[in-house]
Structure 1
Amino acid sequence: MKMAETHDDDDLKAADPKDLHRTVREEGEEELRRPAMSLFWSGLAAGIAISTSLIGEAALHEHLPDAPWRELVVGFGYPIGFLFVVLGRMQLFTESTITAMLPLVTRPSAWALGRTLRLWGIVLLANLLGTAIAGWAIANGIIGDDALRTAALAVSDKITRLSPGGTVINAVPAGFVIAVLAWVLPSARMQSFWLILSFTYILTIAGFSHSIVGSAQAFLLLFSGRSEPVETLLGLIAPAVLGNLIGGAGIFALLAHAQVRGEMPKELT
């Protein structure tokens, strides 16, 4: 996930939707033009880094007693991966649902559509490869010990409780929340740490499905013999990806654009 840069000659006004739209849109335009290999390596790093959310939750789960409040404390491990990715300016698929979508809906064209699909495809593939590497490493004891692996499996088992259709629905709010996070970060850069922490903490304690963190959990289950390849890809990961897209690109990005469309310069409408 990349945070938008401020402009020296045109500072953002807090809570000004037109300025936020312009900033996020311009960031998206830059991402659409990035070389494929740059997107891939950044996405791979993000996939590995986001897996520290699973490790953080597992470490807390391992050391806490089985009590009603345990899940609320375990949830504080979840934001760790997002902090690494956002502050490290890496490419995360769920963030790109809004950054890549705004240029497309602002200036619809075959080029923009092709570039958007290209960006999503490369980043999603790279993110999943990164989480697969992390899931394999945890399952085989390369990362952590047996106790951490057992705790990580306990945390990951939660994603198997929903049907594929239920996962799609459950992933829509997660896509919406991450898109909102990407939208508000440019106007609150000094508070980025607390925004990321609060948004992602609420996401996990509410039990919403995030496709990339969820894929780390799914791959851990796969490499630990708890699930089959088809179930992992089509039953656990793909429904979460679809739900995140609906929530981020299909709902929030369109709403964010609609609220300023009538106030934009004619050349952008």
Structure 2
Amino acid sequence: MKTENKNEERDRKQKNIDSELENSEVKENGEENKRREHGEILNEQLEEGKAVFGNSPGSIALCSFTAGLEIGFSFLLMCSVFSFFTGKLAEDTIFKLLTFVYPAGFIFVILGRSLLFTEQTSLLSLPVLNRKQSVTSLLKLWSLVIFGNLAGGCLMAALLIWIGPALGLFDLLAVEKIASHVISFSPQVILISAILAGWLMGLLSWLLASATDTVSRILLIIIITGIMAFTSLHHSIVGNVEVFAGLLSSPKITISDYLIFESVALLGNAIGGVVFVALLKYRAFVYNVD
């Protein structure tokens, strides 16, 4: 009897939540520049997440693979900048300068509507929190997105370590230096760093929903990803390109280094996006529903 009452109460609560979300639609008739309410942003994020679940596996895989390729342009610029300033500036200064080119790939991916795991982490969790999708379906979708991102990134890494030196843009020492910098921390440090990066990427997805024009969206991407670059927070998809390129081009980077980094970074990014953005933002809305 108690179980039935709990289930009835849970269903009633869910109906109230869904009703509130349906009422939180984007304002029209000239009100698009008005400040967006929490419920409006949550409803938009929820609908976008549900739309991704509705796409075919082939479409999801291709969009994810494309994102993995496109994010590689950040790595291309990073290696080029690193090589250009090597011998002219101190190495730690050069790493800080990479902040200015790091956002490029993210701009291409996000504005181009490709599927990047860290941007989609919190977004795809919302339909599960709203009881419209199961945890199993979420894990399957995450797996597909991650596989596409990693495959595209690995292919781009292999291409860049050939074309970069061939064009005289950078040498393989720059690739080794960047990869070594990424994996130079303990797994515990990489995990916490990746959680913070996942938090920022989930927050970026949330903030972009409140942006009203392309310029604002680009500035938000630059700010969030610039923070990640300047503070050396670990991003699993960019890091995949960085470390895999190092693995292919330098004996100092081992397969063990790559696998440990990638698994820890993916876990941290997922925790950051789900717990600190999706769960907290969703629960903040739910607490206002009777």
- Is the TM value for this pair above 0.5? yes
Q: Which residue of 1 aligns with 2:253?
A: 227
Q: Which residue of 1 aligns with 2:97?
A: 73
Say whether residues 1:51 and 2:72 are aligned partners.
yes
Q: Percentage identity across aligned positions?
A: 28
State how far apart, in whole Å, the 1-side matches of 2:28 and 2:158 are.
44
Q: Cα RMSD over matched residues?
A: 2.0
Q: Is the 8 A contact 1:54 1:78 kept in 2?
A: yes
Say whether residues 1:157 and 2:180 are aligned partners.
yes
Say whether residues 1:167 and 2:190 are aligned partners.
yes
Q: Which structure would you say has the larger Rg?
A: 2
Q: Secondary structure at the match of 1:91?
A: coil
| Partner amino acid, structure 2, of 1:80 | A
TM-score (norm. length: structure 1)? 0.88
Say whether residues 1:177 and 2:203 are aligned partners.
no
Cα pair distance change 1:72/1:134, threshold 3 Å: same
Say whether residues 1:213 and 2:235 are aligned partners.
no
| Partner amino acid, structure 2, of 1:181 | L
Deviation at 1:144, TM superposition (A): 4.5
Q: Secondary structure at the match of 2:232?
A: coil
Q: Which residue of 2 aligns with 1:236?
A: 261
Q: Which residue of 2 aligns with 1:120?
A: 142
State how far apart, in whole Å, the 2-side matches of 1:12 and 1:90 are.
26
Q: Deviations over 1:83-115 (max 9, x none)?
A: 01011100000011111111111126xx43232
Q: Which residue of 2 aligns with 1:250?
A: 275
State how far apart, in whole Å, the 2-side matches of 1:181 and 1:257 are.
16
Q: Is the 8 A contact 2:71 2:105 kept in 1?
A: yes
Q: Is the 8 A contact 1:44 1:126 kept in 2?
A: yes
Of 142-151 and 91-100, the range deviating more from structure 2 = 142-151
Q: Secondary structure at the match of 2:95?
A: helix
Q: Which residue of 1 aligns with 2:3?
A: none
Q: Is the 8 A contact 1:54 1:152 kept in 2?
A: no
Structure 1 unpaired stretches of 5+: 1-5
| Partner amino acid, structure 2, of 1:262 | Y
Q: Deviations over 1:215-234 (max 9, x none)?
A: 1111111111332223311x
Cα pair distance change 1:166/1:46, threshold 3 Å: same
Q: Which residue of 1 aligns with 2:9?
A: none
- Of residues 37, 46, 52 in structure 2, which corresponds to 1:31? 52
Q: Secondary structure at the match of 2:74?
A: helix
Deviation at 1:150, TM superposition (A): 2.7
Deviation at 1:169, TM superposition (A): 1.2
Q: Is the 8 A contact 2:72 2:156 kept in 1?
A: yes
State how far apart, in whole Å, the 2-side matches of 1:173 and 1:63 are.
30
Of 146-155 and 175-184, the range deviating more from structure 2 = 146-155
Moved over 6 A (4+): none
The alignment covers a number of residue pairs equal to: 256
